Amino acid sequence: MTTPSQTARQALDAITTALQLRTEFPADVLAETDAWLKNPCIDDPVLLDRTSIPFVTIDNAHSKDLDQAVHVSRVGAGFLVAYAIADASFYVRPGSALFREAMSRGASYYFPGFSVPMLPRPLSEGLVSLNPDGPRRALLFLHSLDANGELVGTKLERARVHSRGKLSFSQVQQLIDARETSPLKGREFEESLKLLKVVGEKRMHLAAERGLVRYRREEVTVELDGEGLSFAVMEVVRDDVELWNEQVSLMCNAEGGRLLRESNNPAVQPIYRVQGGPDPERLAGLARLTERVCALHQVPETPWRWNQATPLSEYLRQLPKPATGTKEDRLARALTRQAVMVNLRSEYSMEPGPHVGVGAEPYARFSAPMREMVGVFLHKEAVELLTGVHPPAAEDEVLRGQVVHVANRSRETQRKVQNLANEVVMDRVFEPELAKPRAQRTTYTGTVMGLAGSKVHVKLDVPPMDLKLLLFDLAPFFDGAWLEVAEEGAVLRAKGKTAPLLLLGQALKLRVHKRDVQHRRWVFEPLPE
Protein backbone atom coordinates (compact mmCIF):
# COMPACT_ATOMS: atom_id res chain seq x y z
CA MET A 1 0.00 0.00 0.00
CA THR A 2 1.30 3.44 -0.86
CA THR A 3 1.80 6.03 1.86
CA PRO A 4 -0.25 9.24 2.05
CA SER A 5 2.93 11.34 1.99
CA GLN A 6 3.88 10.03 -1.45
CA THR A 7 2.75 11.74 -4.60
CA ALA A 8 1.31 9.53 -7.33
CA ARG A 9 4.55 9.83 -9.30
CA GLN A 10 6.64 8.90 -6.26
CA ALA A 11 4.51 5.81 -5.70
CA LEU A 12 5.09 4.76 -9.32
CA ASP A 13 8.81 5.47 -9.05
CA ALA A 14 8.88 3.05 -6.12
CA ILE A 15 7.72 0.31 -8.51
CA THR A 16 10.72 0.88 -10.77
CA THR A 17 12.93 0.37 -7.72
CA ALA A 18 11.06 -2.75 -6.58
CA LEU A 19 11.33 -4.33 -10.04
CA GLN A 20 14.93 -3.17 -10.49
CA LEU A 21 14.10 -1.14 -13.58
CA ARG A 22 16.99 1.24 -14.11
CA THR A 23 16.06 4.76 -15.13
CA GLU A 24 19.69 5.77 -15.74
CA PHE A 25 22.15 4.36 -18.27
CA PRO A 26 25.78 3.33 -17.67
CA ALA A 27 28.58 5.64 -18.80
CA ASP A 28 29.74 3.38 -21.66
CA VAL A 29 26.18 3.27 -23.06
CA LEU A 30 25.95 7.06 -22.97
CA ALA A 31 29.39 7.32 -24.60
CA GLU A 32 28.26 5.12 -27.50
CA THR A 33 25.09 7.16 -27.78
CA ASP A 34 27.08 10.39 -28.02
CA ALA A 35 29.30 8.86 -30.70
CA TRP A 36 26.28 7.95 -32.82
CA LEU A 37 24.78 11.40 -32.37
CA LYS A 38 28.00 12.90 -33.73
CA ASN A 39 28.16 10.45 -36.65
CA PRO A 40 24.63 9.15 -37.34
CA CYS A 41 25.44 7.68 -40.77
CA ILE A 42 22.25 9.00 -42.32
CA ASP A 43 24.13 9.51 -45.62
CA ASP A 44 25.29 5.89 -45.69
CA PRO A 45 25.66 4.97 -49.40
CA VAL A 46 24.07 1.55 -48.82
CA LEU A 47 20.75 3.28 -48.11
CA LEU A 48 18.30 3.82 -50.94
CA ASP A 49 17.08 7.40 -50.99
CA ARG A 50 13.33 7.38 -50.34
CA THR A 51 13.12 10.88 -48.87
CA SER A 52 10.81 11.98 -51.68
CA ILE A 53 8.02 9.76 -50.29
CA PRO A 54 5.82 11.87 -47.97
CA PHE A 55 5.74 9.48 -45.03
CA VAL A 56 3.96 10.40 -41.79
CA THR A 57 3.93 8.83 -38.36
CA ILE A 58 0.54 8.19 -36.75
CA ASP A 59 0.49 7.50 -33.04
CA ASN A 60 -0.88 8.72 -29.74
CA ALA A 61 -0.56 12.47 -29.30
CA HIS A 62 2.06 12.18 -26.56
CA SER A 63 4.20 9.44 -28.15
CA LYS A 64 7.85 10.34 -28.60
CA ASP A 65 9.41 7.03 -29.66
CA LEU A 66 8.09 6.85 -33.21
CA ASP A 67 8.86 3.40 -34.62
CA GLN A 68 6.84 3.46 -37.84
CA ALA A 69 5.92 5.79 -40.69
CA VAL A 70 3.45 5.00 -43.47
CA HIS A 71 2.58 6.05 -47.02
CA VAL A 72 -0.12 4.54 -49.25
CA SER A 73 -0.41 5.11 -53.00
CA ARG A 74 -2.41 3.69 -55.87
CA VAL A 75 -0.67 1.48 -58.41
CA GLY A 76 -3.07 0.68 -61.22
CA ALA A 77 -6.13 -0.91 -59.68
CA GLY A 78 -4.21 -1.88 -56.55
CA PHE A 79 -2.13 -0.22 -53.87
CA LEU A 80 1.44 0.15 -52.66
CA VAL A 81 1.81 0.41 -48.88
CA ALA A 82 5.23 1.70 -47.87
CA TYR A 83 5.95 1.07 -44.20
CA ALA A 84 9.16 2.47 -42.79
CA ILE A 85 10.42 1.14 -39.45
CA ALA A 86 13.12 2.87 -37.44
CA ASP A 87 16.52 1.28 -37.97
CA ALA A 88 17.45 0.64 -34.34
CA SER A 89 19.58 -2.42 -35.16
CA PHE A 90 22.12 -0.28 -37.02
CA TYR A 91 22.96 1.53 -33.80
CA VAL A 92 22.36 -1.32 -31.34
CA ARG A 93 24.80 -4.01 -32.45
CA PRO A 94 25.84 -7.29 -30.83
CA GLY A 95 28.98 -6.77 -28.78
CA SER A 96 28.24 -3.11 -28.08
CA ALA A 97 27.39 -1.54 -24.74
CA LEU A 98 24.03 -0.43 -26.19
CA PHE A 99 23.18 -4.01 -27.16
CA ARG A 100 24.25 -5.36 -23.77
CA GLU A 101 22.09 -2.81 -21.96
CA ALA A 102 19.10 -3.38 -24.24
CA MET A 103 19.37 -7.12 -23.59
CA SER A 104 19.46 -6.44 -19.87
CA ARG A 105 16.28 -4.36 -20.03
CA GLY A 106 14.50 -6.38 -22.72
CA ALA A 107 11.93 -3.73 -23.54
CA SER A 108 10.64 -0.30 -22.63
CA TYR A 109 8.23 -0.29 -19.70
CA TYR A 110 5.21 1.98 -19.59
CA PHE A 111 3.67 3.60 -16.53
CA PRO A 112 0.89 6.18 -16.24
CA GLY A 113 2.54 9.40 -17.37
CA PHE A 114 6.07 8.14 -18.11
CA SER A 115 8.18 5.26 -19.39
CA VAL A 116 11.45 3.52 -18.60
CA PRO A 117 13.02 3.24 -22.08
CA MET A 118 15.04 0.33 -23.43
CA LEU A 119 17.37 2.74 -25.26
CA PRO A 120 18.65 6.15 -24.13
CA ARG A 121 16.14 8.87 -25.00
CA PRO A 122 18.53 10.73 -27.36
CA LEU A 123 18.24 7.59 -29.51
CA SER A 124 14.70 6.34 -28.82
CA GLU A 125 13.14 9.81 -29.01
CA GLY A 126 15.76 11.47 -31.19
CA LEU A 127 18.21 9.99 -33.67
CA VAL A 128 16.38 6.69 -34.27
CA SER A 129 12.81 7.95 -33.87
CA LEU A 130 11.15 8.81 -37.18
CA ASN A 131 10.63 12.46 -36.27
CA PRO A 132 9.84 14.99 -38.99
CA ASP A 133 12.94 17.10 -38.29
CA GLY A 134 15.18 15.39 -40.81
CA PRO A 135 16.01 12.16 -42.64
CA ARG A 136 16.34 8.89 -40.74
CA ARG A 137 17.57 5.37 -41.39
CA ALA A 138 14.76 2.84 -41.88
CA LEU A 139 13.98 -0.75 -42.76
CA LEU A 140 11.38 -0.26 -45.47
CA PHE A 141 8.60 -2.75 -46.23
CA LEU A 142 6.95 -2.25 -49.63
CA HIS A 143 3.66 -4.17 -49.74
CA SER A 144 1.91 -4.60 -53.10
CA LEU A 145 -1.85 -5.17 -52.80
CA ASP A 146 -4.49 -5.90 -55.40
CA ALA A 147 -7.78 -4.01 -55.76
CA ASN A 148 -9.38 -6.10 -52.99
CA GLY A 149 -6.56 -5.46 -50.53
CA GLU A 150 -5.08 -8.94 -50.92
CA LEU A 151 -1.32 -9.06 -50.59
CA VAL A 152 0.51 -9.72 -53.86
CA GLY A 153 4.10 -9.40 -52.67
CA THR A 154 6.49 -7.67 -50.29
CA LYS A 155 9.91 -6.17 -50.88
CA LEU A 156 12.42 -5.12 -48.23
CA GLU A 157 14.82 -2.18 -48.53
CA ARG A 158 17.36 -0.41 -46.37
CA ALA A 159 16.42 3.20 -46.93
CA ARG A 160 16.74 6.81 -45.94
CA VAL A 161 13.32 8.36 -45.28
CA HIS A 162 11.97 11.72 -44.14
CA SER A 163 8.65 11.93 -42.30
CA ARG A 164 6.54 14.95 -43.20
CA GLY A 165 4.50 15.00 -40.02
CA LYS A 166 4.09 13.66 -36.50
CA LEU A 167 0.33 13.04 -36.53
CA SER A 168 -2.01 11.76 -33.87
CA PHE A 169 -4.87 9.34 -34.46
CA SER A 170 -7.39 12.07 -33.68
CA GLN A 171 -5.80 14.49 -36.19
CA VAL A 172 -6.04 11.95 -38.98
CA GLN A 173 -9.58 11.00 -37.95
CA GLN A 174 -10.60 14.65 -38.16
CA LEU A 175 -9.22 14.85 -41.70
CA ILE A 176 -11.26 11.81 -42.71
CA ASP A 177 -14.46 12.87 -40.95
CA ALA A 178 -14.40 16.66 -41.39
CA ARG A 179 -11.88 17.56 -44.08
CA GLU A 180 -12.87 21.21 -44.41
CA THR A 181 -12.01 21.96 -40.79
CA SER A 182 -8.82 19.89 -40.68
CA PRO A 183 -5.41 21.64 -40.70
CA LEU A 184 -4.14 18.63 -42.67
CA LYS A 185 -6.32 19.53 -45.64
CA GLY A 186 -4.23 20.03 -48.76
CA ARG A 187 -0.98 18.67 -47.29
CA GLU A 188 1.13 16.52 -49.58
CA PHE A 189 0.25 13.39 -47.60
CA GLU A 190 -3.54 13.92 -47.60
CA GLU A 191 -4.20 11.44 -50.42
CA SER A 192 -2.07 8.82 -48.66
CA LEU A 193 -4.17 9.15 -45.51
CA LYS A 194 -7.38 8.77 -47.50
CA LEU A 195 -5.99 5.61 -49.06
CA LEU A 196 -4.97 4.32 -45.63
CA LYS A 197 -8.69 4.28 -44.84
CA VAL A 198 -9.46 2.38 -48.04
CA VAL A 199 -6.72 -0.19 -47.52
CA GLY A 200 -7.43 -0.53 -43.79
CA GLU A 201 -11.10 -1.25 -44.38
CA LYS A 202 -10.32 -3.76 -47.11
CA ARG A 203 -7.84 -5.58 -44.88
CA MET A 204 -10.34 -5.64 -42.02
CA HIS A 205 -12.97 -7.09 -44.37
CA LEU A 206 -10.56 -9.82 -45.48
CA ALA A 207 -9.77 -10.64 -41.85
CA ALA A 208 -13.48 -10.97 -41.09
CA GLU A 209 -13.92 -13.31 -44.05
CA ARG A 210 -11.18 -15.54 -42.61
CA GLY A 211 -13.13 -15.75 -39.35
CA LEU A 212 -10.66 -13.67 -37.35
CA VAL A 213 -12.22 -12.80 -33.99
CA ARG A 214 -12.32 -9.04 -33.36
CA TYR A 215 -13.16 -8.43 -29.75
CA ARG A 216 -15.05 -5.46 -28.43
CA ARG A 217 -11.99 -4.10 -26.65
CA GLU A 218 -12.40 -1.58 -23.89
CA GLU A 219 -9.23 0.46 -23.36
CA VAL A 220 -8.56 2.40 -20.20
CA THR A 221 -5.84 5.00 -19.89
CA VAL A 222 -4.45 6.33 -16.64
CA GLU A 223 -2.68 9.68 -16.73
CA LEU A 224 -0.82 11.75 -14.19
CA ASP A 225 -1.83 15.34 -13.75
CA GLY A 226 0.70 18.05 -14.56
CA GLU A 227 2.08 18.09 -11.02
CA GLY A 228 2.43 14.32 -10.82
CA LEU A 229 0.19 14.35 -7.76
CA SER A 230 -2.94 12.48 -8.81
CA PHE A 231 -4.43 10.23 -11.48
CA ALA A 232 -7.14 10.60 -14.10
CA VAL A 233 -8.70 7.27 -15.16
CA MET A 234 -10.52 7.41 -18.48
CA GLU A 235 -12.20 5.06 -20.92
CA VAL A 236 -10.70 5.40 -24.40
CA VAL A 237 -12.57 4.72 -27.62
CA ARG A 238 -10.23 3.77 -30.43
CA ASP A 239 -10.52 5.90 -33.55
CA ASP A 240 -11.14 4.08 -36.82
CA VAL A 241 -7.80 5.33 -38.08
CA GLU A 242 -6.07 3.41 -35.29
CA LEU A 243 -7.68 0.21 -36.55
CA TRP A 244 -6.63 0.95 -40.14
CA ASN A 245 -3.07 1.70 -39.08
CA GLU A 246 -3.07 -1.50 -37.05
CA GLN A 247 -3.86 -3.49 -40.18
CA VAL A 248 -0.71 -2.18 -41.87
CA SER A 249 1.38 -3.07 -38.82
CA LEU A 250 -0.07 -6.59 -38.71
CA MET A 251 0.63 -7.06 -42.41
CA CYS A 252 4.22 -5.93 -41.95
CA ASN A 253 4.85 -8.31 -39.04
CA ALA A 254 3.27 -11.26 -40.84
CA GLU A 255 5.24 -10.59 -44.03
CA GLY A 256 8.47 -10.10 -42.11
CA GLY A 257 8.01 -13.47 -40.46
CA ARG A 258 7.22 -15.09 -43.80
CA LEU A 259 10.29 -13.65 -45.54
CA LEU A 260 12.60 -14.91 -42.81
CA ARG A 261 10.93 -18.33 -42.63
CA GLU A 262 11.01 -18.84 -46.39
CA SER A 263 14.67 -17.91 -46.68
CA ASN A 264 16.78 -20.85 -47.82
CA ASN A 265 19.77 -19.47 -45.94
CA PRO A 266 20.34 -21.55 -42.78
CA ALA A 267 22.19 -18.58 -41.23
CA VAL A 268 18.93 -16.61 -40.95
CA GLN A 269 17.60 -16.91 -37.40
CA PRO A 270 13.90 -15.89 -37.13
CA ILE A 271 12.02 -15.29 -33.91
CA TYR A 272 8.25 -15.72 -34.03
CA ARG A 273 5.35 -14.54 -31.91
CA VAL A 274 2.98 -17.48 -31.52
CA GLN A 275 -0.40 -17.99 -29.91
CA GLY A 276 -2.12 -21.34 -30.05
CA GLY A 277 -5.84 -21.75 -30.46
CA PRO A 278 -8.19 -22.10 -27.47
CA ASP A 279 -8.48 -25.46 -25.78
CA PRO A 280 -11.56 -27.31 -27.12
CA GLU A 281 -12.89 -27.87 -23.61
CA ARG A 282 -12.70 -24.16 -22.84
CA LEU A 283 -14.66 -23.44 -26.02
CA ALA A 284 -17.24 -26.04 -25.04
CA GLY A 285 -17.44 -24.41 -21.62
CA LEU A 286 -18.04 -21.02 -23.25
CA ALA A 287 -20.90 -22.51 -25.27
CA ARG A 288 -22.47 -23.96 -22.13
CA LEU A 289 -21.98 -20.63 -20.34
CA THR A 290 -23.93 -18.73 -22.99
CA GLU A 291 -26.72 -21.31 -22.76
CA ARG A 292 -27.02 -20.80 -19.01
CA VAL A 293 -26.84 -17.02 -19.37
CA CYS A 294 -29.86 -17.09 -21.67
CA ALA A 295 -31.88 -19.02 -19.12
CA LEU A 296 -30.80 -16.96 -16.10
CA HIS A 297 -31.21 -13.58 -17.76
CA GLN A 298 -34.33 -14.69 -19.65
CA VAL A 299 -33.02 -13.43 -22.98
CA PRO A 300 -33.65 -15.09 -26.36
CA GLU A 301 -31.12 -17.67 -27.54
CA THR A 302 -30.69 -15.67 -30.76
CA PRO A 303 -28.34 -13.81 -30.63
CA TRP A 304 -27.15 -14.51 -27.07
CA ARG A 305 -26.39 -18.23 -27.15
CA TRP A 306 -23.28 -19.41 -28.97
CA ASN A 307 -23.61 -22.63 -30.94
CA GLN A 308 -20.14 -23.97 -31.69
CA ALA A 309 -21.20 -24.64 -35.25
CA THR A 310 -21.13 -20.85 -35.69
CA PRO A 311 -17.67 -19.23 -35.84
CA LEU A 312 -16.96 -17.36 -32.62
CA SER A 313 -16.11 -14.28 -34.69
CA GLU A 314 -19.59 -14.30 -36.21
CA TYR A 315 -21.25 -14.75 -32.80
CA LEU A 316 -19.39 -11.77 -31.36
CA ARG A 317 -20.20 -9.60 -34.38
CA GLN A 318 -23.90 -10.37 -33.96
CA LEU A 319 -24.08 -9.50 -30.28
CA PRO A 320 -26.22 -6.40 -29.74
CA LYS A 321 -24.50 -3.02 -29.36
CA PRO A 322 -27.08 -1.13 -27.31
CA ALA A 323 -26.68 2.12 -25.42
CA THR A 324 -23.96 2.12 -22.78
CA GLY A 325 -25.11 1.04 -19.34
CA THR A 326 -28.22 -0.82 -20.44
CA LYS A 327 -28.85 -4.41 -19.38
CA GLU A 328 -28.05 -5.65 -22.88
CA ASP A 329 -24.85 -3.60 -23.06
CA ARG A 330 -23.56 -5.05 -19.79
CA LEU A 331 -24.38 -8.59 -20.84
CA ALA A 332 -22.71 -8.18 -24.25
CA ARG A 333 -19.54 -6.79 -22.66
CA ALA A 334 -19.40 -9.59 -20.11
CA LEU A 335 -19.81 -12.30 -22.74
CA THR A 336 -17.14 -10.68 -24.89
CA ARG A 337 -14.78 -10.70 -21.90
CA GLN A 338 -15.49 -14.39 -21.39
CA ALA A 339 -14.69 -15.06 -25.05
CA VAL A 340 -11.36 -13.28 -24.63
CA MET A 341 -10.53 -15.43 -21.61
CA VAL A 342 -10.64 -18.70 -23.57
CA ASN A 343 -7.51 -17.63 -25.45
CA LEU A 344 -3.98 -18.59 -24.53
CA ARG A 345 -1.29 -15.97 -24.03
CA SER A 346 1.08 -15.33 -26.88
CA GLU A 347 4.82 -15.88 -26.50
CA TYR A 348 8.05 -15.63 -28.45
CA SER A 349 9.48 -18.79 -29.99
CA MET A 350 12.29 -19.94 -32.26
CA GLU A 351 9.83 -22.26 -34.00
CA PRO A 352 7.10 -20.96 -36.33
CA GLY A 353 3.48 -21.47 -35.40
CA PRO A 354 0.10 -19.80 -35.72
CA HIS A 355 -0.83 -16.59 -33.95
CA VAL A 356 -4.59 -16.99 -33.74
CA GLY A 357 -5.05 -13.54 -32.22
CA VAL A 358 -3.97 -11.81 -35.42
CA GLY A 359 -4.82 -14.61 -37.84
CA ALA A 360 -1.30 -15.07 -39.20
CA GLU A 361 1.27 -17.83 -39.53
CA PRO A 362 4.05 -16.98 -39.19
CA TYR A 363 4.06 -13.69 -37.29
CA ALA A 364 7.10 -11.73 -36.12
CA ARG A 365 7.32 -8.43 -34.22
CA PHE A 366 9.26 -6.14 -36.56
CA SER A 367 7.27 -3.00 -35.77
CA ALA A 368 8.67 -1.97 -32.36
CA PRO A 369 12.50 -2.15 -32.57
CA MET A 370 13.08 0.79 -30.23
CA ARG A 371 10.81 -0.66 -27.56
CA GLU A 372 11.44 -4.42 -27.78
CA MET A 373 14.76 -6.27 -27.93
CA VAL A 374 13.22 -8.88 -30.21
CA GLY A 375 12.62 -6.12 -32.79
CA VAL A 376 16.32 -5.17 -32.78
CA PHE A 377 17.27 -8.80 -33.41
CA LEU A 378 14.71 -9.30 -36.18
CA HIS A 379 15.89 -6.17 -37.98
CA LYS A 380 19.45 -7.48 -37.77
CA GLU A 381 18.31 -10.74 -39.35
CA ALA A 382 16.40 -8.91 -42.08
CA VAL A 383 19.47 -6.85 -42.97
CA GLU A 384 21.56 -10.02 -43.07
CA LEU A 385 18.95 -11.55 -45.36
CA LEU A 386 19.31 -8.56 -47.70
CA THR A 387 23.11 -8.36 -47.62
CA GLY A 388 24.02 -12.03 -47.32
CA VAL A 389 26.52 -11.14 -44.60
CA HIS A 390 26.04 -13.22 -41.45
CA PRO A 391 27.87 -13.78 -38.16
CA PRO A 392 28.93 -17.35 -37.30
CA ALA A 393 25.75 -19.44 -37.21
CA ALA A 394 26.52 -21.09 -33.88
CA GLU A 395 27.02 -17.73 -32.15
CA ASP A 396 23.85 -16.29 -33.67
CA GLU A 397 21.84 -19.36 -32.64
CA VAL A 398 22.92 -18.88 -29.03
CA LEU A 399 22.09 -15.17 -29.24
CA ARG A 400 18.65 -15.93 -30.66
CA GLY A 401 17.85 -18.18 -27.71
CA GLN A 402 18.93 -15.45 -25.32
CA VAL A 403 16.75 -12.87 -27.09
CA VAL A 404 13.70 -15.18 -26.91
CA HIS A 405 14.26 -15.58 -23.18
CA VAL A 406 14.66 -11.83 -22.71
CA ALA A 407 11.57 -11.07 -24.80
CA ASN A 408 9.32 -13.43 -22.84
CA ARG A 409 10.76 -12.21 -19.54
CA SER A 410 10.09 -8.58 -20.44
CA ARG A 411 6.46 -9.36 -21.25
CA GLU A 412 6.07 -10.83 -17.78
CA THR A 413 7.77 -7.77 -16.29
CA GLN A 414 5.34 -5.46 -18.09
CA ARG A 415 2.45 -7.45 -16.60
CA LYS A 416 3.98 -6.91 -13.16
CA VAL A 417 4.33 -3.20 -13.90
CA GLN A 418 0.68 -3.07 -14.91
CA ASN A 419 -0.54 -4.90 -11.82
CA LEU A 420 1.53 -2.84 -9.40
CA ALA A 421 0.60 0.42 -11.13
CA ASN A 422 -3.07 -0.55 -10.94
CA GLU A 423 -2.64 -1.13 -7.21
CA VAL A 424 -1.18 2.35 -6.81
CA VAL A 425 -4.02 3.88 -8.82
CA MET A 426 -6.65 2.06 -6.75
CA ASP A 427 -5.05 3.26 -3.53
CA ARG A 428 -5.16 6.85 -4.75
CA VAL A 429 -8.75 6.62 -5.99
CA PHE A 430 -10.30 4.77 -3.06
CA GLU A 431 -8.25 5.94 -0.06
CA PRO A 432 -10.30 9.17 0.38
CA GLU A 433 -13.45 7.05 0.79
CA LEU A 434 -12.21 5.72 4.13
CA ALA A 435 -12.33 9.22 5.63
CA LYS A 436 -16.08 9.45 4.98
CA PRO A 437 -18.84 8.02 7.17
CA ARG A 438 -19.93 4.67 5.76
CA ALA A 439 -23.34 5.92 4.60
CA GLN A 440 -21.77 8.87 2.76
CA ARG A 441 -19.23 6.90 0.76
CA THR A 442 -19.46 6.97 -3.02
CA THR A 443 -21.71 4.40 -4.64
CA TYR A 444 -19.96 2.86 -7.64
CA THR A 445 -21.88 1.03 -10.35
CA GLY A 446 -20.23 -1.68 -12.40
CA THR A 447 -20.78 -4.82 -14.43
CA VAL A 448 -20.13 -8.39 -13.29
CA MET A 449 -17.65 -9.40 -15.99
CA GLY A 450 -16.63 -12.79 -14.62
CA LEU A 451 -17.44 -15.36 -11.93
CA ALA A 452 -14.59 -17.81 -11.60
CA GLY A 453 -12.94 -19.80 -8.83
CA SER A 454 -12.76 -17.64 -5.74
CA LYS A 455 -13.35 -14.23 -7.37
CA VAL A 456 -15.95 -11.95 -8.87
CA HIS A 457 -14.56 -9.70 -11.58
CA VAL A 458 -16.28 -6.31 -11.85
CA LYS A 459 -15.68 -3.44 -14.27
CA LEU A 460 -16.74 -0.09 -12.82
CA ASP A 461 -18.51 2.43 -15.00
CA VAL A 462 -16.80 5.48 -13.45
CA PRO A 463 -13.88 5.35 -12.99
CA PRO A 464 -13.58 2.51 -15.55
CA MET A 465 -11.47 0.23 -13.35
CA ASP A 466 -11.33 -3.56 -13.02
CA LEU A 467 -11.94 -4.96 -9.55
CA LYS A 468 -11.38 -8.47 -8.22
CA LEU A 469 -13.72 -9.22 -5.32
CA LEU A 470 -12.82 -12.32 -3.32
CA LEU A 471 -15.71 -14.56 -2.30
CA PHE A 472 -14.13 -14.65 1.17
CA ASP A 473 -14.57 -10.86 1.43
CA LEU A 474 -18.11 -10.91 0.01
CA ALA A 475 -19.44 -13.65 2.28
CA PRO A 476 -20.04 -11.43 5.35
CA PHE A 477 -22.37 -9.24 3.27
CA PHE A 478 -24.44 -12.31 2.38
CA ASP A 479 -25.02 -13.42 6.02
CA GLY A 480 -21.71 -15.30 6.07
CA ALA A 481 -22.95 -17.80 3.50
CA TRP A 482 -20.56 -20.18 1.76
CA LEU A 483 -20.45 -18.68 -1.72
CA GLU A 484 -19.86 -20.76 -4.82
CA VAL A 485 -19.73 -20.12 -8.55
CA ALA A 486 -21.99 -22.44 -10.54
CA GLU A 487 -23.27 -23.25 -14.02
CA GLU A 488 -20.05 -22.63 -15.97
CA GLY A 489 -19.51 -19.29 -14.24
CA ALA A 490 -22.94 -17.86 -15.03
CA VAL A 491 -24.15 -17.45 -11.44
CA LEU A 492 -23.01 -16.97 -7.84
CA ARG A 493 -25.07 -18.74 -5.20
CA ALA A 494 -24.95 -19.56 -1.52
CA LYS A 495 -24.07 -23.23 -1.10
CA GLY A 496 -27.17 -25.38 -1.05
CA LYS A 497 -29.40 -22.55 -2.30
CA THR A 498 -31.00 -22.08 -5.70
CA ALA A 499 -31.66 -18.33 -5.65
CA PRO A 500 -28.91 -16.43 -7.51
CA LEU A 501 -26.93 -13.79 -5.63
CA LEU A 502 -25.09 -12.44 -8.68
CA LEU A 503 -25.34 -13.12 -12.39
CA LEU A 504 -22.70 -12.72 -15.05
CA GLY A 505 -23.43 -9.51 -16.94
CA GLN A 506 -25.63 -7.88 -14.30
CA ALA A 507 -25.20 -4.38 -12.89
CA LEU A 508 -23.73 -4.25 -9.41
CA LYS A 509 -23.52 -1.35 -6.96
CA LEU A 510 -20.56 -1.19 -4.58
CA ARG A 511 -19.00 1.04 -1.99
CA VAL A 512 -15.63 0.90 -0.29
CA HIS A 513 -15.68 -1.12 2.94
CA LYS A 514 -12.02 -1.24 3.98
CA ARG A 515 -8.44 -1.70 2.86
CA ASP A 516 -6.98 -5.10 3.75
CA VAL A 517 -3.44 -3.91 4.35
CA GLN A 518 -2.02 -7.35 5.06
CA HIS A 519 -3.17 -8.78 1.73
CA ARG A 520 -2.87 -5.49 -0.20
CA ARG A 521 -6.42 -5.43 -1.50
CA TRP A 522 -9.56 -3.35 -1.27
CA VAL A 523 -12.77 -4.82 0.13
CA PHE A 524 -16.08 -3.57 -1.28
CA GLU A 525 -19.58 -3.86 0.06
CA PRO A 526 -22.26 -4.90 -2.46
CA LEU A 527 -25.35 -2.72 -2.23
CA PRO A 528 -28.95 -3.63 -3.06
CA GLU A 529 -30.46 -2.28 -6.25
Q: Are residues 133 and 264 in the same domain?
A: yes
Q: Are residues 382 and 439 in the same domain?
A: no
Q: Are residues 138 and 38 in the same domain?
A: yes
357 inside domain: yes
Question: Quick one: pLDDT at residue 238?
Answer: 76
Q: Are residues 362 and 471 in the same domain?
A: no
How far apart CA 105 and CA 124 sit, in angstroms, is 14
What are the per-10-residue average pLDDT scores of the chain (529 residues)?
73 94 97 98 97 97 94 98 98 98 97 93 98 97 98 97 97 96 97 98 92 64 66 68 95 96 90 93 96 97 95 90 92 94 93 91 95 97 94 92 98 95 91 96 97 94 93 96 96 95 98 95 94
303 inside domain: no
The sheet carrying 55-59 orders its strands as 48-49, 151-161, 136-145, 78-86, 68-75, 55-59, 163-168
Question: Quick one: pLDDT at residue 142?
Answer: 98
Q: Are residues 356 and 499 in the same domain?
A: no
Contact 160, 37 (CB under 8 A): no
281 inside domain: no
Secondary structure tally for the chain: helices H, strands E = 15, 21
314 inside domain: no
Q: Are residues 148 and 235 in the same domain?
A: yes
Q: Are residues 395 and 514 in the same domain?
A: no
Contact 513, 525 (CB under 8 A): yes
418 inside domain: yes
Contact 258, 364 (CB under 8 A): no
State which of 402, 424, 446 marks the end of a domain: 424
CA–CA distances in Å: residue 219 to residues 51, 236, 288, 401, 482: 35, 5, 28, 33, 34
317 inside domain: no
Q: Are residues 52 and 81 in the same domain?
A: yes
Contact 409, 109 (CB under 8 A): no
State which of 375, 396, 424 marks the end of a domain: 424
Question: Quick one: pLDDT at residue 213?
Answer: 67
Question: Quick one: pLDDT at residue 326?
Answer: 95
How far apart CA 17 and CA 419 sit, in angstroms, is 15
Q: Are residues 217 and 96 in the same domain?
A: yes
Q: Are residues 368 and 490 in the same domain?
A: no
Q: Are residues 353 and 491 in the same domain?
A: no
The CATH number of residue 513's host domain is 2.40.50.140
pTM: 0.91
Residue 123: which domain range?
A: 8-274+346-424
Count of domains observed in the chain: 2
Question: Quick one: pLDDT at residue 5?
Answer: 66
Q: Are residues 436 and 382 in the same domain?
A: no
State which of 390, 424, 458 marks the end of a domain: 424
